[in-house]
Structure formats: structure tokens, C-alpha cells
A and B are shown apart, each in its own frame.
Chain A
Amino acid sequence: MDHAAHPARLRLAALLAAVLLALPGFALAQSRATVLSPQEPATLMPHFDLLTLTHEVQHLIFDCLFVVGPDGDYLPQLATEVPTLANGGVSEDGSTYTIRLRDDVQWHDGEPLTSEDVRFTWQVITDEELPIPSRAVWEQVESVETPDDRTAVIRFADTNVNFLGRAASDACFVLPSHLLAGADLNDHGFHRAPVGTGPYTLEQWSAGAFARLEANDAYFDGAPSIDEIVVQFTGGSQATRTALQRGEAELALHLGQADLRFAQGLAGYEVRQGPAHAWWQFWIDNDDPLLSDVRVRRALAHGLDRELITETVMGGVVEPQHAMLPESHWAHDDDVRTYPYDVDAAAALLDEAGWDTVGSDGVRTRDGERLTLEILNIAGEVERRQVIQIAQDLWSDLGIDASIREIDGAGFPSTMAAGDYQLAYGWFGENQEPVFNLWLGTNWQNFGDESALDLLRGVSSTVDREARAAAIREFQRIVAEEAVMLPLAPRPLLNVASDHLDGYAPTLSGSLWNAYAWTLR
């Protein structure tokens, strides 16, 4: 006799369960995942903040037209498919994108998603009266047509290959027009109480402490299996370490290099590198009287022991980088001129440049002028300082007197833009579809080879990806040949994930883009 299937017993069990659930204070245990974030979003209204960690939280609340999947390919999210030439979603000249939206998506207030929301999002991003810091690609859109509720037609004046990259990046979140149209978004309550279509709804935001989000049971991809996600804003490395040591978190985002060894030794956790097209580099002011000499720039490149830095300060998790774009990027070029660590080659180059006399203090001179350089840095991060100190020592071996000037992060861009530097250490990132603001926009390195820059200018209007890659690779070869800047190593995002978190799959879209699919063991 099958006892488990006995109807009387089943009825009794069901009755008991019903009574228990009806008792006050009795509820089924809620599953919760805690995510540690070193920084807190300033606002959760999409497009007003460029902080990567803000985008991470926004991925829980909002959705994008497309996202970047684990293989680096675009995946549809609010769209039914990724528009291509083959499926007719992209016009032959690459100037028009037709996007079909899913018909089962609802905003958290129950209203359906429509193509008008896509048009409204474009209008917000390009609104001159709003402090939106990045309008790249969207500002080149001529019109967004909405022939029906499920179709948005995005038209550019000319070929534009960057649209998919932008629509799958940090500028991807779609806004609800039915809630925001006509309102002044400068100081709208939506900044603190956002309504999205995403897998979680924001239930509580305790400033400086945490954001608590509950599963959206009506999510179009099915209700998330984890009932609640808490994003804790730790504010620093020590609090993150303590929480991890106590096993209080399922995921810790963006650990510093200094935390790497600590994290590698944590039981029950694994260090996971989130992909990012970002890299550490030394900027060079190519207009500087001393550094405008390519021989001096090449000497600096030869005098920099990249292996030493990646093995020590960077904990051996990255390899030295020689090309402008990191190896993770599809347009990376393996075939650029490299500058292996070679003191003799560096010394010969400096001799050739006229810096051939060494003074009693060990510093080279030319016509009585000492070979001195200043390295600009953003103060506050131990690892940055360590890298610069190693470079300082290595270049000192060549007879270069290098000093360090530290300023705060907010002052860095304007100091660079003003050309008030010789060398500067920092990181930079590019999109999946690069927009090359580093060269065509800010150009802090004062690179003036117009024929080389023309290679980049043509990229956004070249539909064929291989042709784009060829132009970008050619540009990288020029940059390396002329030692216009000194790439050092990729800058991956270091996250720590608990062993009992399943489904965690960081991509270029971030770490939380697929939180709806996470499960806890």
C-alpha cells in the first residue's frame, strides 16, 4: 500500500499546512541574496548617473532592449530578437533599426510596455534641459517612429553601427512614458522610487545603508526564484571583508586589487572576473616638449616592466597589455609593436635623443637640463600608488627623475584636458562598439595624426564588422609604433561569488543582468 499517496493523509497534510499558514507570524521562509557594493547609486533613474554600480542595481529594476550575453553576443531582452541585416531589422545602409517589442511585458504598476516608451527614452536622453552626461549615439538618432504599440523604428541620418552597442550598454534602460511624460525629471520622485519592468521591485532604500528589492512575480521571463535581493552599500573594503568573513553575502562587487589575496583565501567563495573592455595605462602628453620625442616615449615603454607589475601589484590575474584595446575586445590587435622590458634598449634610445650625460645624482642631462618627469595620479588607492612607485623606480634606473603628483578624482579630467600633466596613470574603458571618445573627443594625449584619426572617424559608418576591425587594428598599430600612450594591463572587474549562488554569469552587461535566473543552493 502506498502510504504517501493515501488521500486521507494528503487531505490532512493540506489542512495542517493551511492552518499553519493562517497562523499569525507564520510564513514560508523567504529566500534572500545579499550583494555587497562598495558604492551607492546617487539616483536610480536611468541615464542620470554613469557609475557602473548604479547600472548593476538598475538591472534589477529595469530592462534593456538588448543585453550582452555570456558569449559576448547580443541577446534580446525587451525586444523579440536582435535586429540584423538577415532578419530585416537593420536596413541595407545601416541607418534604420526596426525593433519588435515583446507583448508580455508589464511595468511594475501593471501598465503594458509600448513602443512609445522607447521613443520617450530617446527623448529623455537627448533632452537639453536635463543633466544627462552621456548622449552618445542616441543624439545621432533622427527620429523614433512608433507605427504600432510593439514596433519602434529608429532612424539615423546616416549609417550607424554603434546603435546595438549603446542599446545593450549602460544607456539601455527603457523608461515608462505613462509615468514620466511631461514631468520635470530634474528632481522627480522617480529618482528614489523607480518603476521599471525588471525582475525586482524596489521596496526600501535606506540611504547610505542598503536597497531591498522584492521579486516581481509578473516578470515576463517568469518570477525570479530568489524572493528578495538586498544590495548593501559597504562604503569600503573593510566592511566588505567583514561581511564576507561572516558569510553574510552571496556576491561582493568590484573588489580592489588589494583585496584579491584576501578573497582568494575565503572558504565558500570564489573570485570571479567580470569581463570589461577596460585597461590601465600611462597617458602621455604628446605635446609636452620632452615627451613629443618618440625616442623618449619608446624608452619609457621599454623601461616599464609590465610583467613585474602584473605579477606583484595586480596579483597575477591579468597579463601585460601592449595594444590600445585589451585582448577581450573583438577589435584587439595582437600584431602591434611591443616594448619588452629592456634597460639597454631604453638607455640607447635616451642616448640617441641627446640625454646622454649622467650627472652625479644619477639623473641624465641634456645641455645642462635634467631629465625629470611628473606622473599625475588620482589619490586614494593603494594599488595605483604602488604601480606608479614601481614605474618610478624602474625609470629611475634609466636615469629619469620621476616624481608623483596626486589630485582627487573630480579634478583629474580637467587637469588632463588642460594639458597640465606629462604622464598620468589611470584606467579607461571602451564599449563593445567603441565610440573612441578618448581619441575623437577628449584627446587628453594630444594626438594629432589626422590621417590616423580618420581611420576611427570612419568606423561608425562602416557596416561590415571585419572592415571596422581592420581600421581599428591599423589605428592600434600606429598608436603602438609611436608609443602614443603606454598600455599596462586589462582592468577586469573582480567580484566574489558564494559557492551556493547558482546562475551567476557576469557579462559586459554587468553582474546582475540575469539575477532573475539565479538560484540559491
Chain B
Amino acid sequence: MLSYAVRRTLGAVPRVLLVSVLLFLLLRLPAGGPADVFASDPTASPEAIARIEALWGLDRPLHEQYLTWLGNLARGDWGTSFSERRPAREVVLERLGNTLWLTGGALAVGLIAGVALGVATALSRSRAARAALQLLSVVGMSVPTFWSGTLVLLYFGVHLNWIPSGGMGRVGEAFSLPDLAHHLIAPAIVLGSVYVAQWSRFVHAGLEEALREDYVRTARAKGVRRLPRLFRHAFPNAAIPLVTVLGLELPRLVSGAMVTEVVFSWPGLGRLLTTSLLGRDYPVVMAALMLLVALVIVANLLTDLAYGLLDPRVRYG
């Protein structure tokens, strides 16, 4: 399995390089550059803007700029943020942890509620329950998080005063898990609710199919009780499509967190990326995007490895 993982990772290098070239070029396609954010000020002269561009190497040919960036990256130097004047790595990693808290919370909400709902409706013979699940799926996937987040904030934050108005913790107090949980619960539910509907449908469909399989019927004939039959025999097979979806959705979950971060003032990667893109802070944007690329690759790899754990028939050649 290890050699498979190493080969998969090395195989991803050309793709990462290609993506990095594309991102580097795409960032520079729109008019204007990092120094132009100053140009609207009545006291910033065109000469000053040109001088800053030269200082930041933005007057050099594009391929030279890319190779310099790549060479520095290979040496572990992600560049210096144009606006914050500190290492881009520091800027990005400081926010990544916050985003992982949010996506982790949303993932937990999505998985726990999605699996529970999927199992419950698969076992239920009620047509109303199935119809309700279908309705929930449509609503869950259709409602944008900026709208649901705003409603949650208004009702639970302003009207009932149950949740904080935003952020990750109380100002001026030391980090504590209960405080983090208090701030995390609303954005995690809002972000996770999108996936509850989707994932419960996968679990529901997979379980329904697995419960009709011969091996489940055999287990039942052998006297295996309902719950062990469900969770030991049927669920692992039903979970394989869910794992595939999870692997594909994980990067989307991180990017989806960006909107939720804005609504709940969550100081994560999404808000950083938004301000860095608007300010054309190329080193920070490249660092954040390349980190997301790495996340996609790792998520895909973990998905493939998870198949082997769920299904012993899967072998890694």
C-alpha cells in the first residue's frame, strides 16, 4: 500500500506543475497588478507604482517570474506577501487550521446526520419518510449557504441570542474547546447541511441495494441479528459510493467554506483568498491555491486507500 501511495504521489507531480503554470497565468490575465491597488490614492504617483512593480519583480518577463517562484518553492520559500510583508507560507498556514476546523465540523455534521438519516429511511417502510428525504435533498442542495447562514445568524444570533455574531472565539480569552465549539456549531451546521441531504441519499440507496443482496439474506438465515446484519454486513458495501463522493467532495467542502466564512466572519482560508485575490497578492494566492491542489490530490489518494479498508477484494498493484 505504501509503495502505491508513493507512486501515486510522484505521478501527481507533472499535474501539479501544469496546474501551477495555469494558475500563475490566469492570475495575471486580468488588467492591473498588485501595485495598482494603490493607484486610486490621490498621492500615489504613477512613478511610485512603477517603482514598486520593479521592486517586486513584476516588470520581468512572465516565464522568468514563474521560474523564480518555482525555484523558491522548491527550496521551501513560498514568497513574501506583497501586502502583509511576511512569508506567504505563514499567512496561509495560519488560516488553514481555522478552515480545517470549520470543514471538519461540517464534515462531522454531514456524515453523522447524513448516515443516520440514510440508515433510518432505508430501514423505514414508510413512503412518507422517503418522500421527506427526497424533499430534504432538493432543499438542502438548492439553498445557498450565504442565505441559510444569514437566516441562522438573524434568528439564532440576533433574535434568540444563542450563538455568537461571528468569529472563532471570545476576544481576549485563551483558546478553549468549549468556546470554539460554541462559535463553530452554527457555521458547521450551515455548511454541513448541504451535504446531509446529498450523503443521506447515497447511504439510503446503497443500503437499500445491499439489504437485497444474497450475503445479507444468508446472514439473516444464519440468525445474525438485525443491527449486526446492517452494520457489519450491509453498511460497509453501502459506504463505498459514499467514500467516493467524500473524496470528491472534500476539496469542494473547503472551497464551499469560503462563503460560510464570510457570513460568519470565520478567519479562514476563504476570506484570506478573497482579500488576496482582490488585492492581487500573488504569493499568497498561489500558496493558498497550491495548498488546495495538494488537498485534492491527498483526498483522492485517501479515497483510493479507503476502498481497500472497506472492501478486502481491492488490491493495490
Contact = CB atoms under 8 A, between A and B. Distances in A.
A210 B84 contact: no
B267 interface: yes
B33 A414 contact: yes
A437 B42 contact: yes
7 contacts: A42-B83, A50-B44, A131-B56, A188-B85, A407-B30, A409-B37, A414-B33
Given A407-B30, A410-B34, A413-B39, A437 B45 contact: yes
A415 B33 CA distance: 11
Given A133-B49, A134-B48, A438-B42, A187 B271 contact: no
A242 B166 contact: yes
Given A42-B83, A411-B30, A206 B267 contact: yes
A208 B171 contact: no
Contact of B42 (A34, A233, A242, A428): A428
Which of A238, A414, A415, A435 lies at the interface centre, i.e. has the most chain B CB atoms within 10 A of its CB?
Answer: A238
Nearest to A135: B48
A43 B46 CA distance: 22
Contacts of B32: 408, 410-415
Contacts of A192: 84, 86
Contacts of B42: 428-431, 434-438
Interface in A242-281: 242-243, 245-246, 248
B95 interface: yes
Which of A39, A131, A188 lies at the interface centre, i.e. has the most chain B CB atoms within 10 A of its CB?
Answer: A131
Contacts of A248: 165
A212 B51 CA distance: 34
Which of A39, A171, A212, A235 lies at the interface centre, i.e. has the most chain B CB atoms within 10 A of its CB?
Answer: A235
B43 A235 contact: no
B55 interface: yes
A236 interface: yes
B168 A131 contact: no
A187 B80 contact: yes
A186 interface: yes
B205 interface: no
Interface string A398-435: 00000000011111111101101000001011110011
A206 to B, nearest CB: 7
Contacts of B51: 128, 131
A442 B39 contact: yes
Nearest to B52: A131
B267 A208 contact: yes
A84 interface: no
B55 A131 contact: yes
A79 to B, nearest CB: 21
B94 A210 contact: no
Contacts of A212: 171-172
Contact of B85 (A43, A411, A417): A43
B172 A417 contact: no
What class of interface size applies to chain A in its complex with B? 35 or more
A204 B174 CA distance: 11
A319 interface: no
Contacts of A243: 165-166
Nearest to B159: A245
A405 B166 CA distance: 35
A186 B35 CA distance: 15
Contacts of A188: 85
Interface in B25-82: 30-46, 48-49, 51-52, 55-56, 80-82
A180 to B, nearest CB: 13
B161 interface: yes
B38 A236 contact: no
Interface in B129-180: 150, 153-154, 157-158, 161, 165-168, 171-172
B268 interface: yes
B265 interface: yes
A513 interface: no
B38 A133 contact: yes
A39 B278 CA distance: 12
Nearest to B29: A411
A308 interface: no
A130 B168 CA distance: 35
Contacts of B154: 242
A191 B157 contact: no
A228 interface: yes
Contacts of B41: 50, 133-134
Contact of B30 (A166, A408, A431): A408
A289 interface: no
Contacts of B306: none
B104 interface: no
A134 B43 contact: yes
B98 interface: yes
B124 interface: no
A382 interface: no
A82 interface: no
A234 B166 contact: yes
A407 B82 CA distance: 21
A409 B39 CA distance: 10
Closest 8 CB pairs of A and B: A208-B267, A413-B39, A411-B32, A42-B83, A133-B38, A411-B31, A136-B43, A134-B43
Interface in B1-43: 30-43
Which of A34, A171, A207 lies at the interface centre, i.e. has the most chain B CB atoms within 10 A of its CB?
Answer: A207
A438 B43 CA distance: 9
B172 A204 contact: yes
B263 interface: yes
A90 interface: no
A235 B167 CA distance: 10
A431 B86 CA distance: 30
Contacts of A129: 55
B26 to A, nearest CB: 13
Nearest to B80: A187
B31 A415 contact: yes
A234 B166 CA distance: 8
B77 to A, nearest CB: 12
A102 B150 CA distance: 51
Given A42-B279, A131-B52, A435 B43 contact: yes
A161 interface: no
A150 B271 CA distance: 45
A235 B262 contact: yes
Interface in A28-43: 32, 34, 39-40, 42-43
B87 interface: yes
Interface in A177-200: 186-188, 191-192
A455 interface: no
A484 interface: no
Nearest to A191: B85
A515 interface: no
A441 B46 contact: yes
